[in-house]
Amino acid sequence: MELFDTHCHIDDASFDHDRPQVLQQCRKSGIGHITVPALVRSGWDALLTLCKSEPGLHPTLGLHPVYTNQHQDSDLTRLQEYVANKSVIAIGEIGLDYYINNNDKARQQELFEAQLSIAKDVDLPVILHVRSLFLFYILFNNRGALCVYAFLITAKH
Ligand SMILES: [Zn+2]
């Protein structure tokens, strides 16, 4: 049986010293495919290059809510351009993170909705990050509605 890891930040700098060995071990363990979600615009090119150079790695591009303070409106325009790249299999990692107290919730929501709209326009799925909130999120626009529901389970539960 071949496994598909749907969420692994193997592009992170912490893997720079042993990424080939980690990927080799993954393949030996039966993991044939790995989705690699992006975090910030500045990492997209390196992520795409990595995924192109390693078989079985599949890039997703997006603006992660934890890094909301780093994202620019121009990143959304660039995202629209980048997702034309046929190797991009999803928009992500996107979402809402209310765990971080100093993060701007309104800006998070603005970026989240914009990226959902891009995903819908190009007919790509999304990789969601949702933390510290019960979310029943309904987005209406001129093309219909989208409903996402997610929740956090803590050790207490
Ligand atoms: Zn992630």
> Model-level pTM?
0.84
**Residue pLDDT, tens place only, 45-91:** 999 999 999 999 999 999 999 999 999 999 999 999 999 877 899 99
**Residue pLDDT, tens place only, 33-55:** 999 999 999 999 999 999 999 99
Query: Would you state the pLDDT for residue 134?
Result: 53
Statement: residue 107 has pLDDT above 70: yes
* Interval between CA 12 and ligand 1 midpoint (Å): 10
Statement: residue 147 has pLDDT above 80: no
CATH class of 3-151: alpha beta
* Interval between CA 84 and ligand 1 midpoint (Å): 22
- Residue 127 host element (H or E): strand 126-131
* Interval between CA 130 and ligand 1 midpoint (Å): 10
Q: How many CA atoms lie within 13 A of 125 on its CB side?
A: 7
Task: Report the pLDDT averaged over residues 124-142.
Answer: 65
* Interval between CA 152 and ligand 1 midpoint (Å): 14
Tokens of 148: 């996402």
Residue 85 CA to residue 64 CA, distance in Å, equals 19
Give the range among 17-26, 68-77, 122-131 with minimum mean pLDDT.
122-131
Q: Are strands 135-141 and 144-150 parallel, antiparallel or unpaired?
A: antiparallel
